Chains A and B, each alone.
Chain A
Amino acid sequence: MKKNFPTVCPSCGGGLKVQSLHCNECGTTISGEYDVPAILRLKPDELAFVTGFVKCSGSLKQMASDMGLSYPTVRNLLDEIINNLNKLEKDGQTI
């Protein structure tokens, strides 16, 4: 089963932070308090869009063709993601 990376607290809706990182190879665990990068706070479908966008060298035309959507629809999706990232940045999240 594919697990989604949780970014929001299911109890209060607050932003989650990373407190520990673990290496499966040697068993090392690092503890601390790390912010989750804003880009990882995007919804799974938005993150998939960003990945696809990078993979096709930032060509919205190519994205539109791959996704079977029109150019303005894809551009509007990108604008929405940019908006969300700007909001997250404003809220003090690091990119």
Chain B
Amino acid sequence: MDRLFNPFRYIAGTKSLVLGLIFMVSAVFLLYSAGMIQDGYLHIAPTDATIWSILLMQLLWWIVPALFYYVGGLLLSRSHIRIVDVLGTTAFAQLLLIPMIAPMLLPAVKNGMNTILQALQQSVQPAMGDMMAVMISGIVSALFIVLFFIWNYNAFATSCNVRGWKAVLYFVVVQLVVTFVGVLV
């Protein structure tokens, strides 16, 4: 259970950074093949952008919060913190983007979303099968989003050795700032 909620007790530094970069590149290929881009902190949208633009956005949504966590660690922690641990643990947490994105890219779910949208526009009842497919993918994604926040908090707490209400408050503020920036972008 500990490994599920806080893998950073066991992995950090360069090893997790390398694995995290592999996870991010995999997520980029997944998004590119489906014609999607991560245009917000936890938001994807259709695009015709190049793979390099998708990669750039992916890296941006990882590195900006990570740098905020590092600054938070410098302000809140008495420990000697290493940037490679902050970057490594937060990069590793990007692994969860894959199961978060994957269900939304399944043909059944994509078709389901399209038919539901069409049904809503024509003010008719969407088919139960379409609704089920979209609902199940939504639940799976939501579970991974919750785990994504838990992993990110634990990445921040472990790599910067911070805890208590100040750490939680700082983490929440970073999430809000990054989400707000995502809306503006």
Chain A interface residues (CB < 8 Å from chain B): 68-73, 75-76, 79
Contacts of A73 in B (CB 8 A): 8-10, 12, 158
Contact, CB under 8 Å: B13 / A70:
yes
Contact, CB under 8 Å: A72 / B10:
no
Q: How far is the CA of A37 from the CA of B79 in the complex (A)?
A: 25
Q: How far is the CA of A70 from the CA of B11 in the complex (A)?
A: 5
**Is B159 interfacial (CB-CB < 8 Å)?**
yes
Contacts of A68 in B (CB 8 A): 10
Closest chain-A Cβ to B95's Cβ sits at a distance in Å of 16
Contacts of B85 in A (CB 8 A): 70-72
Q: How far is the CA of A75 from the CA of B158 in the complex (A)?
A: 10
| Chain A binding surface SS class | helix
Question: In the complex, which residues 83-100 of chain B have their Cβ closer than 8 Å to any Cβ of chain A?
Answer: 85, 89
Contact, CB under 8 Å: B158 / A72:
yes
Contacts of B158 in A (CB 8 A): 70, 72-73, 76
Contacts of B89 in A (CB 8 A): 72
Give 5 nearest A-B pairs by CB, closest first. Answer: A70-B12, A76-B161, A72-B85, A73-B9, A79-B79
Contacts of A69 in B (CB 8 A): 9-10
Question: In the complex, which residues 149-182 of chain B have their Cβ closer than 8 Å to any Cβ of chain A?
Answer: 158-159, 161
Q: How far is the CA of A73 from the CA of B3 in the complex (A)?
A: 13
With A79-B78, A79-B79 already in contact, the answer to whether A72 and B11 are too (CB < 8 A) is: no
Question: In the complex, which residues 1-32 of chain B have their Cβ closer than 8 Å to any Cβ of chain A?
Answer: 8-13, 16
Contacts of B80 in A (CB 8 A): 75
Contact, CB under 8 Å: B8 / A75:
no
Question: In the complex, which residues 118-175 of chain B have their Cβ closer than 8 Å to any Cβ of chain A?
Answer: 158-159, 161
Closest chain-B Cβ to A15's Cβ sits at a distance in Å of 26
Nearest CB in chain A to that of B84: its residue: A71
Q: How far is the CA of A91 from the CA of B121 in the complex (A)?
A: 72
**Is B82 interfacial (CB-CB < 8 Å)?**
yes
Contacts of A75 in B (CB 8 A): 79-80, 161
Closest chain-A Cβ to B9's Cβ sits at a distance in Å of 5
Contact, CB under 8 Å: B78 / A72:
no
With A76-B79, A79-B78, A79-B79 already in contact, the answer to whether A71 and B161 are too (CB < 8 A) is: no
